[in-house]
Amino acid sequence: MTATTSERILSTARKEGAEAEVFHVTSKQVPVEFEDNELNMIESSSAEGIALRMIKDGKMGFGATTRTGAEDTLVAQILSAIPFGTSAEFTFPGATDYPEIETFDPRVTALSPDALVDTGNKILEAIRTHEPDAQVNISVAKGEGHVLLHNTSGLSAAREHTVYSVFFHASYVDDGGGLLHIADYFGGTHFLDESDRVIRDARKHLALGKKKATIKSGRYPVIFTPRALSDLLRPLLACIDGDAVARKISPWRERHGEDVVDPRVSLYDDGLLPLGAGSLPWDDEGIPSQTTPLIEKGQLKNFLLDLKNSARLGLSPTGNGMRGGLSASPGISLSNLVMAPGETHLRDLFSAVSEGLVIHSLMGAWGANPYGGQVSGNVALGFKIENGESIGRVKDCMVYLNAFDAWQHQLQAISTETEQRHSHRLPYVLMEGVDVAT
């Protein structure tokens, strides 16, 4: 789509007395897939299309097309449907300055399919050499996207980004017939090879997973690794979502400025995080990205907001209006989730546990109602700790807690160390008195 096409669409909207926003995206992706220890797929795909939002008489119309030359038809269809659309209490933003942030890495675009295959083979061979009976699945992918955004308020913006990602999963049947699952991932906007770390951690977990450990039902201290920690944060994030606040289903809707968790907890949505997979100069509605304090020293500071919900609540948007795809209208989404580190070294977190667990991943950790705070699930990968040391894998084990109570009353320590994976940068957290059932 050319600038002339975009201006023609906007001109038509103005003549019809409507506001309009044209979102044009082109993308390329190259995924490589290994399944059951074998290279299974190498693909290369590209896509291009436009999404159009129009506002007239307080009503919103939306549509999208990937067909070249279908723009005028799309405009006509949306105009005819606007009277039956949803209400729109906001206007599109005008021109503004955007933060400078590097989101495009030419090293990613230069990666050949063979290079992606080599990364997958490196991980596969290392895991299989260590454990020949392991079944390994790996995904290695690169992508790039280019976005143009124009609207009738005078905004005209362009951005580009790259994404590099690696995901690996290995399963192994132990001597007792139990199935051990190990998974890991890394990636972001830039090329960053963490395959050596993935291999090192996988070997460690496979070796430790062969050692059996038992734990009785009861209440124990539990260390949640950064990967498992996201399950404990989901109820908090659900309450901070501006749509839930606007619909009055968030229990925190009237707690802005109040203490909601332990004062050692600070949580941010950081759209400017270096290398973060969700980092962009502006969101999909043209609002500048920013670092938004959600919870700071235990106090609720901000809600996540797009244009729609910021208008409903009478607040400023936070740059979290994102599209799930070309055919999806913008909605609220995190950019990068960051939790501030604590004051306890990881080794001291373990030393503080005479008997307990370290959990790397949970399965089915929360139900359909996150606003109740309940987190319960099977320990997919976890190890028993005795006298500060991981001694073996626990099986047929569940943990359950209420996230709101845990973050207020059960937090024992937060590690100084953090790990950044894709769009999360999180520490290790030690919770006391966690219910464990076996």
Q: Give per-residue pLDDT as tens, 346-355.
A: 999 999 999 9
382 and 287 within one domain: yes
| Residue 36 to residue 199: CA distance in whole angstroms | 17
Q: Which of 172, 206, 240 is the last residue of a domain?
A: 206
- Boundary residue ending a domain (171, 206, 241): 206
Tell whether 236 and 275 lie within a shared domain. yes
Do 237 and 201 lie in one domain? The reply is no
- How many of the other CB atoms lie within 10 Å of CB of 64? 19
Alpha-carbon distance 286 to 155, whole Å? 8
Q: Is the pTM of this model over 0.85?
A: yes
**Shared domain check, 272 and 185:** no
268 with 147, same domain: the answer is no
Q: Is 195 in the same domain as 311?
A: no
Q: How far apart are CA 102 and CA 161, in angstroms?
A: 8
**Cβ–Cβ under 8 Å, residues 111 and 129:** no
pLDDT of residue 233: 96
Please count the structural domains in the chain. 2
CA distance 155 to 190: 28
Question: Tens digit of pLDDT per residue, the chain (438 long)?
Answer: 566 889 999 999 999 999 999 999 999 999 999 999 999 999 999 999 999 999 999 999 999 999 988 999 999 999 999 999 999 999 999 999 999 999 999 999 999 999 999 999 999 999 999 999 999 999 999 999 999 999 999 999 999 999 999 999 999 887 776 788 999 999 999 999 999 999 999 999 999 998 999 999 999 999 999 999 999 999 999 999 999 999 999 999 999 999 999 999 999 999 999 999 999 999 999 999 999 999 999 999 999 999 999 999 999 999 999 999 999 999 999 999 999 999 999 999 999 999 999 999 998 876 668 899 999 999 999 999 999 999 999 999 999 999 999 999 999 999 999 999 999 999 999 999 999 999
Q: Which domain holds residue 153?
A: 3-206
| 81 lies in the same domain as 60 | yes
- CA-to-CA distance for 363 and 12, rounded, in angstroms? 51
Per-residue pLDDT at 175? 74
Tell me, yes or no, whether 121 and 237 share the same domain. no
Q: Which residues contact 159 (CB under 8 A, 6 or more apart)?
A: 103, 146, 147, 280, 281, 282
Q: Which of 206, 225, 240 is the last residue of a domain?
A: 206
pLDDT tens digits, residue range 245-302?
999 999 999 999 999 999 999 999 999 999 999 999 999 999 999 999 999 999 999 9
Q: Are residues 198 and 334 in the same domain?
A: no
Looking at residue 141, its pLDDT comes to: 98
pLDDT at 368: 63
CATH at residue 126: 3.30.2290.10
How many Å separate Cα 125 from the centre of its chain? 29
* Alpha carbon separation from 85 to 305, 310, 330 (Å, rounded): 21, 19, 15
pLDDT value for 366: 67
Do 275 and 424 lie in one domain? The reply is yes
User: What is the SS3 string spanning the chain?
Assistant: CCHHHHHHHHHHHHHCCCEEEEEEEEEEEEEEEEECCEEEEECCEEEEEEEEEEEECCEEEEEEECCCCCHHHHHHHHHHHHHHCEECCCCCCCCCCCCCCCCCCHHHHHCCHHHHHHHHHHHHHHHHHHCCCCEEEEEEEEEEEEEEEEECCCCEEEEEEEEEEEEEEEEEECCCCCEEEEEEEEEECCCCCCHHHHHHHHHHHHHHHCCECCCCCEEEEEEECHHHHHHHHHHHHHHHEHHHHHCCCCCCCCCCCCECCCCCCCEEEECCCCCCCCCCCECCCCCECCEEEEEECCEECCCECCHHHHHHHCCCCCCCEECCCCCCCCEECCCCEEECCCCECHHHHHHCCCEEEEEEEEECCECCCHHHCEEEEEEEEEEEEECCEEEEECCCCEEEEEHHHHHHHHEEEEEEEEEEECCEEEEEEEEEEEEEEC
Asked if residue 147 and residue 198 are part of one domain, the reply reads: yes
